[in-house]
Structure 1
């Protein structure tokens, strides 16, 4: 439909609703003569009379009644949708897609977001567990989670956790037949449970440091998993040493189910950050998620 015809149909609908060119013109902010000219132009293009005019009132013809009944509800739907879009400025709504490794998803995203989402029933949160360091722009994620030193400089980063530590631990049954390692150089004597990373098919290196002496230690072992929960489970079953975020094993260590080793080689590292491309692109829903996740010391 040509824009002029669209505008003239809209003018016709307002005239019929108001029952007067004068009242409709005041509502639309145009002169009565301009409104009358628009309706006459529409009648000319359609080749039918839409309104019967008298000095006191107007009435729709059969064609005019059909046109009004057909298009007026659609204009109402358009008005309703435009109003709904305007409400998005004040009412957070929509889906927020986040890519994250397993540990931040379970230790940060879920605990924090589950406390506030009940207050925002129109917000949906989709969390994808992924160790592949996904490109959030090309894969259409709204945000991602990484350790602070892994966030690209052109991204906006918001800290969502305190600094973290890793832990190396094995079960009492495992250490019943093996000595506890006193330095990372002794790890080659142990069955180390490894985490395979999807990027290039490599393994997560065991980053251990003490007094500024940093090293990435390649380890070997019988078991390989692609998630940390399975590594903890295997360690509890006595199959080897786990290298995981310490909060995943502190309870087991306190209960005696696991024994921590190389504690002085596990220094704190930068905590998790939520990152996304630009504040100008952020939605109200993402703003709610960011505020809920923000780390407050």
Structure 2
């Protein structure tokens, strides 16, 4: 049977007062320590005793002592109160300076091209902050899952998030290895992809992503979505990129993650005039009013390195 538990209002009222009187064995000295009047101390103790239902102090005109109930209450209340004070100090410390664990969620593709240099310089600048990276393609609820911030492509960020740009806009490009293209030929038009081995992405929701291309020029541009087929399905871009380098087929990936392989001659950019644009990658978090110093330090560090500014992603 489910039980209902509630926290009474004022359940902790009078505890600090009780501990001060018990420590000094004096209402007057407790009043001086807490900077209140002796009558206020007496009233707080009487209210606490009334809530508990037992007398905690033995009072005479010359001395103050503890009853048996007071002794037992003191034995358990003092360490509990000290733990609460320590917890408050820890929380206050995290609220005043960059320290503690900074948890970030992001796609695997972002880590090597974007985060590795940022993380290294950030950790050097803020040694009291530990950074935890969860590299996953899942679109998680960062608040519910306990993350401080996430990094995603602009279109996948909810409208109520505050976002900081990490990259300029870029293209989604189709690439293939020289060996594959020598064997199968270069596609010239989007319709040619139907005759090629195309490496596909499975989205976090389970659906296979269509290949999106851009047709026409200028004001006449229009999106072309093509259902392709091929020998490999993966749930992240680095795996598709690696398979393309190995000659398994063509892959459509964000241009920044393919730049190194293209420069090294391991991949060739094809269908260049059909590459659609993407708004870029953003760091995002729930609210400016809930930003802890560790996250604010990271945001400032990112903006300093990327020349970025806050903006809210609109739907």
Name the stretch that deviates more: 120-129 or 175-184: 120-129
- Which residue of 91, 112, 120 corresponds with 1:114? 120
Quick check: 2:102–2:129 contact (8 Å CA) kept in 1? no
Superposed CA RMSD in Å reads 3.5
Query: Residue 173 of structure 2 corresponds to which residue in structure 1?
Result: 167
- Which residue of 251, 270, 291 corresponds with 1:282? 291
Quick check: 1:236–1:257 contact (8 Å CA) kept in 2? yes
- In the alignment, the residues of structure 2 paired with residue 103 and residue 18 of structure 1 have an alpha-carbon distance, to the nearest angstrom, of 62
1:48-71 Cα offsets, whole Å, 9 max, x none, are 7546653xxx46468466665554
Describe the SS at the equivalent of 2:89: helix
Describe the SS at the equivalent of 1:102: coil
- In the alignment, the residues of structure 2 paired with residue 257 and residue 147 of structure 1 have an alpha-carbon distance, to the nearest angstrom, of 26
Query: Residue 275 of structure 2 corresponds to which residue in structure 1?
Result: 266
Q: TM-score, normalising length from structure 2?
A: 0.75
- Which residue of 15, 31, 40 corresponds with 2:37? 31
Q: How far is 1:272 from its partner?
A: 0.8
Q: How far is 1:271 from its partner?
A: 0.8
Q: TM-score, normalising length from structure 1?
A: 0.79
CA distance 1:78–1:53, change in 2 (3 Å): farther
- In the alignment, the residues of structure 2 paired with residue 40 and residue 186 of structure 1 have an alpha-carbon distance, to the nearest angstrom, of 87
CA distance 1:285–1:207, change in 2 (3 Å): farther
Query: Residue 15 of structure 1 corresponds to which residue in structure 2?
Result: 21
Equivalenced residue count is: 293
1:1-297 aligned at under 5 Å gives the runs: 7=13, 10-18=16-24, 20-36=26-42, 46=54, 50=58, 54=62, 58=63, 60=65, 63=68, 68=74, 71-118=77-124, 119-130=126-137, 132-136=138-142, 141-209=147-215, 211-212=217-218, 213-214=221-222, 215-266=224-275, 268-294=277-303, 295-296=306-307
Q: How far is 1:290 from its partner?
A: 2.7
Quick check: 1:21–1:35 contact (8 Å CA) kept in 2? yes
Higher Cα radius of gyration: 1
Gaps of 5+ in 2: 1-6, 309-315
1:159-182 Cα offsets, whole Å, 9 max, x none, are 111222233222222122232222
Gaps of 5+ in 1: none
1:101-144 Cα offsets, whole Å, 9 max, x none, are 322244223432332135243444342411x5445456555433
Q: How far is 1:226 from its partner?
A: 1.8
